Chains A and B, each alone.
Chain A
Amino acid sequence: AQKITQTQPGMFVQEKEAVTLDCTYDTSDQSYGLFWYKQPSSGEMIFLIYQGSYDEQNATEGRYSLNFQKARKSANLVISASQLGDSAMYFCAMREPYGNNRLAFGKGNQVVVIP
């Protein structure tokens, strides 16, 4: 069963504007972790931000913030003040509860920042 859902089509965003990438997840476990990764055309997966299921505050990391709504099982990524270098695929991932650091990834969102 798919555990991470990212359904937005490719997005174009104007430079310096904010963009929100949607992510919903499915789990029956109470303890879990949510991650966002960025994958530019070079192929490397770059860790952006982490949200624990018990964290009461939304995670923030520089221009990245996570809009965590636990009851709705959503963990949307917000990128503020977009830059041309933000053009990439963005993947939401959830750490599965049974160890070995398994991460279940979504299919990703394509973002293109235009000047």
Chain B
Amino acid sequence: ETGVTQTPRHLVMGMTNKKSLKCEQHLGHNAMYWYKQSAKKPLELMFVYSLEERVENNSVPSRFSPECPNSSHLFLHLHTLQPEDSALYLCASSQGTGTDNSPLHFGNGTRLTVT
């Protein structure tokens, strides 16, 4: 496989469930990101990992817990979510996190519905 792969593509969970989103990149990048895309709102940056170290937590509630075990894998652990957390969750990777022109490469996203 190439690029950025996210699983599952769709997820329905109750507010008391615990689930995890998985992201894997095959591009040799050293930075990975979680974004949230809600209807009619711009993409919101949630977390940034650089060389497996979290470098940014963009005021995300603690019910979202990221994990980056290595530079190729990124997880988003979910627990006790709210219906307003329903959204498309996009993972991305890039080579570097500095002010260069390296674009972010995104996965297909996980469509999450919280019931």
Residues of A that sit less than 8 Å from B by CB: 2, 4, 31, 33, 35, 37, 42-47, 50, 52, 91, 93, 95, 97, 99-108
User: Chain A contacts of B75 at CB under 8 A?
Assistant: none
- B102 & A101 in contact (Cβ 8 Å cutoff): yes
In the complex, what distance in Å separates the CA atom of A53 from the CA atom of B55? 25
Tell me which of B31, B42, B50, B97 contacts A107 (CB under 8 A): B42
- A44 & B97 in contact (Cβ 8 Å cutoff): no
- A9 CB, nearest partner CB in chain B, Å: 13
Interface string of B64-96 (1 = CB under 8 A from A): 000000000000000000000000101010101
Contact A43 B108, CB 8 Å, known A99-B98, A100-B50, A100-B56:
yes
**B111: Cβ under 8 A from any A Cβ:** yes
For the side of the interface on B, what is the size category? 20 to 34
- Other than the given A33-B101, A45-B90, A47-B105, 14 more pairs (CB < 8 A) read A33-B99, A43-B90, A43-B109, A45-B104, A46-B106, A47-B103, A99-B98, A101-B102, A102-B45, A102-B48, A104-B42, A105-B42, A105-B43, A108-B42
Tell me which of B42, B48, B88, B111 contacts A101 (CB under 8 A): B48
Closest to A36 in B: B103
In the complex, what distance in Å separates the CA atom of A37 from the CA atom of B106? 10
- A6 CB, nearest partner CB in chain B, Å: 9
Closest to B109 in A: A43
In the complex, what distance in Å separates the CA atom of A33 from the CA atom of B104? 12
User: Chain A contacts of B99 at CB under 8 A?
Assistant: 31, 33, 95, 97, 99
- B42 & A4 in contact (Cβ 8 Å cutoff): yes
User: Chain A contacts of B98 at CB under 8 A?
Assistant: 99, 101
User: Chain A contacts of B31 at CB under 8 A?
Assistant: 101
In the complex, what distance in Å separates the CA atom of A104 from the CA atom of B35? 11
